[in-house]
Amino acid sequence: MINFSKIWLIIKREYKTRVQTKSFMLSTFLTPLLILGIIGLLIFITVSSTDNEAPKQVIVIDETGRMFEPLRQLNANRYIPISASQSVDQIRDLIMEDELDGYVFFDQTFLSEGTPATFVHNGSGGITFFESLRSDVRDVTRQIRLEDNEVSEEVIAIFEERPALENRRLNETGVDEQSNAFLSSIGGILIGVFIFIGLFGYGAILMRSVIEEKTSRIVEIITSSVKPIELMLGKLLGVCLVALTQFSLWIATYAGVTILAAPVAQFFINQRMGDLQNSLIAVDAKGTAANVPSDIDLSFLEQFSIDPLFILYFFVFFVLGFLMYSSIFAAIGAAVDSEQDSQQFMTPVMLPIFLGYMLNFRIAEAPDSTLAIMASLFPLTSPINMVTRMLVSNVPFWEVILSILLLILSLIGMLLLAARIYRTGILMYGKKPTFKELYKWIKQA
Amino acid sequence: MSLVIDVQNVSKHFGKATAVNQVSFGVEKGQIFGLLGPNGAGKTTTIRMINHILNPDTGHISILGEAVSPKSQERIGYLPEERGLYKKMKVFDQLMYLAQLKGLSQTAAKTAIEFWLDRFEASSWKKKEVSELSKGMSQKIQFIATVAHDPEIYIFDEPFSGLDPINSEMLKEVILEEKNRGKTILFSTHRMEQVEQMCDDICLFNQGKAVLQGNLQSIKQSFGNNTVLLDFIGDSEFLNQLEGVRVNNRSTNFAEIRLLEGASPQHILEIAMKHAEIQRFEIVQPSLQDIFISTVNDTKVAV
């Protein structure tokens, strides 16, 4: 009994009036710039493993007489000797004036009795600096002990061994590919935030538009032509299409950038190599060009590409989640006369969305924990959490299907409840209804 | 003759409150039908049920012989009491949207809207947003939205409220013109002079009930020549001594006196002559205003 051609008219209006606004254009074209910035930052983080901070300087007060030399050999810039005239107090003054980053004190009994060494510093450098200092001290100490105990070369070699562990993730087609757990966790968190903002932002847009139709009284004219449920469905689908349009544009931009990134980067690198080689050839006719690395590995850029199947799932979960949450937003908009009045009803709706958002960080860390599985199946959080989980880990197919089914069921339930509140609410003016009254509206046949 | 709008034993409750209680009335083709009554009497609820915006709890409503449905909605042009348009939408787009929702094809909607915009000299507003229009202008656009799909029935809820005199006169003209084209019109109002000028039949609502209905002229006649108009010079104190009457309207030297059961106009004249100098004494039919007030008061007493 639902008139689809009229719903189509409503969808068209909702879509057109939104897509043609300046704010839509702005947010659509500015957000890719933001994404570009984030990608740039991620590439920067991945590529530049060496930090170009000024080297830290640490004075070594070595009462054992054996620690300083090996440390200096490890890092001559960092470890400097104490000069004969310096007292500890003078060194402390230097540290307080930021002339020096710190000093390490090895007691006479450090090697013999294992008295702890002390690191006194001005607080700069942070945890990574402290960790690298500790590992230097540990390495040197181990080296000395090995020598003292006249351990054979073979054993020393065993200790120096650093077995490599390559991180490769097996994908659906059975091909193992380079995996970067850090990157996919970040991606998982970002995509979750993306859906969270989408659910919230577009839900709020929809609610505002319902309130506007109600307060401007146009709703009475519309309902003299179509059923309230038709109006509500048309609005939901229209706003949903706007969101999908925006997301598609963004994904297209992102895909374009990641596909183009490798060739473009390669082009610039080659050009620089060429310049370098030319200049070298100019200097030395025989060519030391062989010393210049001929290629730089850009395969890490592939990690930024998105699987089309994942995009499909992303859309499925977003659309279902959006329709479920926004039908409630529409009902709230219909029940109240102004946005201020909506606050009281918003709180219970916002809680599960926020829950999903908060859980997201845990799920990116431990995508296969019981908590993660529950959150990605529970319909109120699955639109956010399942998508994150799918990006971070390989989710069994049946879990995805079960999650979609549960989501569809609760979507239908929410739609039916919301439609009843909506139908009564849009024609009620004046007093803000209580939860009890909303319940009555739902019960009315 | 078959009824264009047929309302039978319709009731509607909101929670414990009864908005409409066992109401029946019929509107014949080509009539102008007035729905009268104080605020909260159930007029708007009844109109919404006729428009299939609300469903009656009990009873039956049919339009042109068929039960109300999305189909019947397309044959009605409805102007609600509280007017509203999309403020941020262009006039032409908005009218196209509303006309198509009423079932018009795109081309038919375009023709009709251009005709009406032209008729109201509003063609130059096409590309303007409604928020840019003056109140009078947006009232015209609202009216076009009601008539563009050329319905057989018009329903206006308080059509004259908030209209400036020019638009008010224009609306009256269009209503009479549409009646002459054979359209059926139902409107609700407080304004008695408009009802007396325009309506064929009326139905008076009070506290959710239809307390009085029928042909306007016959209703007035049925009350008979039961009203005395008196112009006098002198002390008006004597009016308080009259028995078996109700003084509906009095000022320093005028009184409109309604005769109740058994009261004689001659007796009133006698008393009046003893106390004041009489300048006019006339026996007339009651005004609609008087019928309205006394009927409403009677039903209040009855409840």
CB contact under 8 A, B82 and A440: no
Domain A58-160 belongs in CATH node 3.40.1350.10: no
pLDDT values of chain B reduced to their tens digit, one per residue, 303 residues:
578 999 999 999 887 888 999 999 999 999 999 999 888 889 999 999 999 998 899 999 999 989 999 889 999 999 998 888 998 899 999 999 999 999 999 999 999 999 999 988 888 988 999 889 888 888 889 889 999 999 999 999 888 887 788 888 888 888 899 899 999 999 998 778 788 888 999 999 988 888 888 898 888 888 777 888 888 888 878 888 777 788 877 888 888 888 877 778 888 888 888 888 888 888 888 888 888 877 877 765 444
Buried b (16+ CB within 10 A) or exposed e, A281-309: eeeeeeeeeeeeeeeeeeeebebbeeeee
CB contact under 8 A, B85 and A216: yes
How many angstroms away from the CA of A420 is the closest CA of chain B?
13
What does the pLDDT read at residue A213?
92
- Per-residue pLDDT tens digits for A188-245: 888 888 888 889 889 999 999 999 999 888 999 999 999 999 999 999 999 999 999 9
The residue among A342 and A282 whose pLDDT is bigger is A342
CB contact under 8 A, A222 and B86: no
Searching chain B, which residue's CA lies closest to the CA of residue A429? B82
Q: CA B80, CA B50: separation in Å to the nearest integer?
A: 12
Give which of B279, B116, B119, B291 is closest to B220, Cα–Cα: B291
How many angstroms away from the CA of B199 is the closest CA of chain A?
24
What does the pLDDT read at residue B303?
40
What does the pLDDT read at residue A176?
61
Q: CA A25, CA A102: separation in Å to the nearest integer?
A: 54
Residue A444 has pLDDT above 80, yes or no: no
Token pair recorded at residue B121:
């000299």
Q: Which residue is it, tokens 């992303």?
A: A314
pLDDT tier for residue A445 given thresholds of 50, 70 and 90: low
CB contact under 8 A, A220 and B82: yes
Give which of A263, A273, A262, A264 is closest to A295, Cα–Cα: A273
pLDDT tier for residue A319 given thresholds of 50, 70 and 90: very high
| Range name among A123-132, A341-350, B73-82, B142-151 with the lowest pLDDT average | A123-132
* Contact residues, chain B, for A212 at CB < 8 Å: 87
pLDDT tier for residue A93 given thresholds of 50, 70 and 90: confident
Which CA distances in Å does A202 have to A149, A246, A352, B78, B220? 70, 11, 16, 32, 59
By the 8 A CB rule, do A375 and A381 touch?
yes
Tell the burial category of A241 from Cβ atoms under 10 Å away from its Cβ (0-12, 13-18, 19+): middle
CB-facing half-sphere around the CA of A247: CA atoms within 13 A:
21
Mean pLDDT for all residues in chain A: 82
Quote the Cα angle for A110-A114-A119, to 5°: 55
| Range name among A78-82, A103-107, A127-131, A342-346 with the lowest pLDDT average | A127-131
What does the pLDDT read at residue A110?
85
Residue A100 has pLDDT above 60, yes or no: yes
Tell the burial category of A99 from Cβ atoms under 10 Å away from its Cβ (0-12, 13-18, 19+): exposed
CB contact under 8 A, A217 and B82: yes
Long-range CB contacts (< 8 A, 24+ apart) of A427-434?
A427/A219, A427/A220, A427/A223, A427/B48, A427/B53, A427/B54, A428/A335, A429/A214, A429/A337, A430/A337, A432/A335, A432/A336, A432/A337, A432/A341, A432/A344, A433/A335, A433/A336
CB contact under 8 A, B80 and A224: yes
Searching chain B, which residue's CA lies closest to the CA of residue A212? B86
End-to-end CA distance of chain B: 35
Q: CA A323, CA A237: separation in Å to the nearest integer?
A: 8
- Per-residue pLDDT tens digits for A60-82: 888 888 888 888 888 888 888 88
Judge whether B129 is closer than 8 Å to chain A, CB to CB: no
pTM of the model: 0.74
Three-state secondary structure call for residue B283: strand
What does the pLDDT read at residue A97?
82
User: What is the domain partition of chain A in residue ranges?
Assistant: 58-160, 180-444
Q: CA A432, CA A217: separation in Å to the nearest integer?
A: 17
In percent, the amount of chain A with pLDDT more than 70 equals: 84
By the 8 A CB rule, do A341 and A347 touch?
no
What does the pLDDT read at residue B184?
94
By the 8 A CB rule, do B152 and B30 touch?
no
Residues in chain B: 303
Q: Which one of A224, A424, A440 would you mutate to disrupt binding with B, by most B Cβ within 10 Å of its Cβ?
A: A224
DSSP characters for B206-235? ETTEEEEEEEHHHHHHHT-S-EEEEEEEE-
What does the pLDDT read at residue A216?
86
By the 8 A CB rule, do A361 and A189 touch?
yes
Three-state secondary structure call for residue B203: strand
Q: How many CB atoms lie within 10 A of CB B27?
A: 24
Question: For A222, which of B54, B88, B101 is closest by C-beta distance?
Answer: B101
Which distant-in-sequence residues (6+ apart) come within 8 Å of A131 by Cβ?
none
How many angstroms away from the CA of A338 is the closest CA of chain B?
16
Largest CA-CA distance found in chain A, in angstroms, rounded: 97
What does the pLDDT read at residue B93?
93
How many angstroms away from the CA of A226 is the closest CA of chain B?
7
What does the pLDDT read at residue A285?
47
pLDDT tier for residue A111 given thresholds of 50, 70 and 90: confident
Beta pairing class for B209-215 and B227-234: unpaired
CB contact under 8 A, B80 and A217: yes
By the 8 A CB rule, do A186 and A38 touch?
no
* Contact residues, chain A, for B103 at CB < 8 Å: 225
Q: What is the ipTM of this complex?
A: 0.81
How many angstroms away from the CA of B144 is the closest CA of chain A?
12
For chain B positions 162-201, those within 8 Å of chain A (CB to CB) are none
